[in-house]
Amino acid sequence: MSKRIVVTGAAGFIGSNVVRGLNARGITDIIAVDNLTQADKFANLVDLQLADYVDKTVFYDGFARGRYGHVDAVFHEGACSDTMQHDGRYMMDNNYATSRTLLDACLAQGTRLLYASSAAVYGASSRFVEQPDCERPLNVYGYSKLLFDQVVRRHLPHARSQVAGFRYFNVYGPGEAHKGRMASVALHHFHQFRKQGYVELFGAYGGFGAGMQRRDFVHVDDVVAVKLWFFDHPYSSGVFNLGSGRAQPFNDVAHAVANTLRAADGHGPLSLQQLVDERLLRYVDFPAALVGKYQCHTEADLGALRAAGCDLALRDVARGVADYVEQLLLRHA
């Protein structure tokens, strides 16, 4: 018997990749939910197999009323992910209230819910463990995600169906072009290097040297693989970090992008220092708008994920970014 799946945010970056992962398994009874006011996102749906498309403004109420029949699972990827969004009411309504409505409906109907949280919940923390004492968001985006995680935690002991949340760290990969300034640094570097012949990074800030601020970068294919692992294990519930489990400096991303593009042009690899010396990597002043609102170090503690039994291997920057740049080159060719 085929399973009916809903993917919210289906035209977005991670949502479209989740649909692609489901399609690769032969699952096509998928209801895609999104808002195509930003019409160029349609490109992420073109090569996907869907049963239906529903606008987000009508989906949530309809789902609560049972309009879409029996749904086995909802992959809830829809959200406002712009961390610079200053309209707190919009952020809370879009990220928290909508998710709360969906959670209530899933629990009532016995539908599994696999949803997107964010590492932004950790904010100013120096530890990245799924524990309240580590959760210190720096913006309303992070708070909107944290508040929903807290609601989920209260429901988990009594839930009769799977509820699993995933705190995404810095995700990069195909399908993010529509995100503009919120796209990954890997994509920005790809376009910078091809257009101007060099890439740019922030200079020293927060006690870190130029380009040495460290993030946990994770390829979107690895994110999808983890989520499908939980889809295959319907009794695994909780709130989990989803990153590579290693913090790497932004310099590593720039290094991987530049050398992969150089290799495509027939040039040999350069060391990081050689990239700087030849001005293929340049540093700019840290922007005033981000002072006090920027995570200089993130690293997913994967203890809970591994304890749940998910032992998938996750790529580091050198491999993951090189894979991504090669995919971008094929697409742009």
Active site residues: 141, 179
Residue 51, Ramachandran bin (φ over 0: left; ψ between -120 and 50: alpha; else beta): alpha
> Is 113:103 a contact under the CB 8 Å cutoff?
yes
Interior angle at CA 325, CA 324 and CA 327, nearest 5: 65
> Is 186:172 a contact under the CB 8 Å cutoff?
yes
Q: How far apart are CA 44 and CA 47, in angstroms?
A: 7
Q: Scanning the structure block, which residue is given the tokens 């169906």?
A: 161
> Is 80:123 a contact under the CB 8 Å cutoff?
no
> Is 289:185 a contact under the CB 8 Å cutoff?
no
Task: Say which residues have a Cβ less than 8 Å from residue 229's Cβ, sequence separation at least 6.
Answer: 310, 312
Strands 214-215, 163-168: pairing kind: unpaired
Which DSSP string do the residues of 237-285 spell out, in sequence order? Answer: -EEEEES-S--EEHHHHHHHHHHHHHHHTTPPP--HHHHHHTTSEEEEP
Strand order in the sheet with 5-8: 52-55, 30-34, 5-8, 73-76, 112-118, 163-168, 238-242
CB-based burial, 157-188: b 16+ in 10 Å, e otherwise:
eebebbbbbbbbbbbbbbbbbbbeeebbbbbb
Phi, psi of 147 (to 5 degrees): -60, -40
